[in-house]
Amino acid sequence: MSNQIPVVIAGAGVTGLSAALHLAEAGVKKILIVTGSSIPTSMTAPGMLSGGQRDNFTRVAAAHQTDFAKTIWLFGDRAFDLTANWARNQGVPFSNCRRLRLIATPEELTEATIAVREMNAAGFTSQILSDKKLTASPWARALGPRILAVQDDGERGGWIDTHTMCRKLRLAAETNPAVQFIDGTVENISGYADPDLSVTIRGPESQSGDKKLQTIKTSSLIAACHLAIGDLIPSLKSALVSSADQWLSTSGPLDSIDPQSPWNTPGIAWSAFHNHEWGATQPNGTILLGGGRILRKWAGFEATESKVEAKISKYIVEQTKKSFPNWRADCEPILEASGLDCHPCDELPVVGPMYGEGRILVATGFMGQGLTLGFYSGFCLAKLLMTGRCDELPRRLWPERLRSLPDQE
């Protein structure tokens, strides 16, 4: 790789910044990050962390077979570990305790029982706490009668201070001599028949209303621009489905009666009712609550914008009260936010080189897990670019699997 021709990265969220830092670490001397014109989704994500996948193992196995479910679960676990190690080394506030799935219906219990069996057979830690086992566990005392059982996936849950994570990543890139930032958006890619690609970058609007255009030669382009990858690489557009979601941060603790309750430990990431409700315990005694997409039109899929909806906040709070009756009921949100996330049509992240043009690499579609999966994908793409292979990145995540989708051009 030439030291004169830069690697260009489109997007300065967790994925783009991680790719830049891992490339610099591997010895690339010239990296240009084009920042984009909107606030990265990474900056507004609340910071719940899960290993494996957000969906239960059975969902992934049903869609992609058990062998591949094991592979993608491992990818999620490794992403969790890499992000956790980086956070600890960088002093980013991070708590790690448990990943728990609260089971509210008999159908979920049947599914969770199969999921645990399949996970154990695949070598992952998970157990079902139900009936006497649940009653005897320290988790039971704070739970309402709504919760029939708990699937405990072990220490694969956590919380990270997203704002500090993004700030530290950005600072590390800004102070790395190999990395330069350009304000603007990558608007066009050309030069496919040339030794180097060309990217056209549109700068921010000047006071006179002009937007400067510049064209830069690049050895490779990493597209880390979330949903906007579909605008840059039209053949991926129909594969990337938007989904609107929202969350709030509010006062805790979950168990105000028993200060020793394990539910008052920071770093528990839980979900309930098939992931329609989710949350995490934060270090300052506050809690993070999210979900309620089912109350949106088409469950939030294909939304073009995402707003905080009062009825959804109310739903999230009401459901949490049912799960945790000892939670103080008078809490107002400290912070509320919403955003659009990216769900690939086949519910697998899209990470790897583009078919037909290996100099363009993409990473998106992390379905609520981008803080870890985006960070890890940045590492994987950097390794792939530098060494020509990355065994940690399952080939089935490469965009080549989407080749038969209709082009939107």
Judged by the rule CB under 6 A, the positions of this chain that interact with ligand FAD are 10-16, 34, 36-38, 40-42, 45-49, 185-186, 224-226, 228, 232, 245-247, 338-341, 364, 366, 368-372, 374
Cβ atoms of 200 and 324 closer than 8 Å: no
CB 342 within 8 A of CB 365: yes
Residue 339: closest CA among 37, 14, 42: 42
Q: How far is the CB of 113 from ligand FAD (least distance, A)?
A: 27
- Min CB(130)–ligand FAD separation in Å: 27
In the complex, minimum distance from the CB of residue 304 to ligand FAD, in angstroms, rounded to a whole number: 13
Q: Name the residue nearer to ligand FAD (CB basis): 41 or 261.
A: 41
What is the token pair recorded at 402? 């989407």
- Taking the complex as a whole, how short is the minimal distance between the CB of residue 229 and ligand FAD, in angstroms? 8
Rg of the chain in Å (alpha carbons): 22
Q: Please identify which residue in the block is written with the tokens 């479910």.
A: 69
| 40 versus 394: smaller Cβ distance to ligand FAD | 40
Q: Is the dihedral of CA 253, 256, 259, 264 positive or negative?
A: negative
Residues 54, 67: contact at Cβ < 8 Å? no
Which of 19/149 has CB closer to ligand FAD?
A: 19
Task: Identify which of residues 118 and 158 has a Cβ nearer to ligand FAD in the complex.
Answer: 158
- Provide the minimum distance between the beta carbon of 193 and ligand FAD in the complex, in angstroms, as a whole number: 22
Which residue of this chain has its Cβ atom nearest to ligand FAD in the complex?
370
Residue placing its CB nearer to ligand FAD in the complex, 14 or 348: 14
Q: How far is the CB of 92 from ligand FAD (least distance, A)?
A: 14
How many whole angstroms separate alpha carbon 85 and alpha carbon 91? 10
Q: Across the strands, what pairs with 284?
A: none
Least distance to ligand FAD, CB of residue 144, Å: 24
Nearest to 160, CA basis, from 271, 48, 64, 263: 48
> Among residues 344 and 370, whose Cβ is nearest to ligand FAD?
370
* Distance of closest approach, residue 117 Cβ to ligand FAD, in angstroms: 27
Nearer to ligand FAD by Cβ, of 158 and 326: the residue is 158
Q: Walk across the sheet containing 333-344 and list its strands.
A: 127-130, 149-152, 98-103, 268-272, 277-281, 286-291, 240-251, 333-344
Q: Is the peptide bond before 253 cis (omega within 30 degrees of 0)?
A: yes
Nearest to 8, CA basis, from 28, 32, 30 = 32
Kindly state the smallest distance separating residue 247's Cβ from ligand FAD, in Å.
6
- Work out how close the CB of 102 gets to ligand FAD at its nearest, in angstroms, rounded to a whole number: 17
Beta bridge partners of 223: 10, 362
Nearer to ligand FAD, 128 or 373 (CB): 373
Determine how many CB atoms are found less than 10 A away from the CB of residue 110: 12
Nearer to ligand FAD, 327 or 366 (CB): 366
* Distant-in-sequence contacts of 166-171, Cβ < 8 A, 24+ apart: 166/13, 166/14, 166/17, 166/40, 166/42, 166/43, 168/90, 168/91, 168/92, 169/14, 169/17, 169/18, 169/21, 170/12, 170/17
The distance of closest approach from Cβ of residue 107 to ligand FAD in the complex, given in angstroms and rounded to an integer, is: 26
Nearer to ligand FAD, 282 or 338 (CB): 338
**Which of residues 142 and 165 has its CB atom nearest to ligand FAD in the complex?**
165
Q: What is the DSSP string of 43-112?
A: HH---EEESS-SS-HHHHHHHH-HHHHHHHHHHHHHHHHHHHHHHHHHT--EEE-EEEEEE-SHHHHHHH
Q: Residue 365: which of 247, 248, 236, 279 has the closest Cα?
A: 236
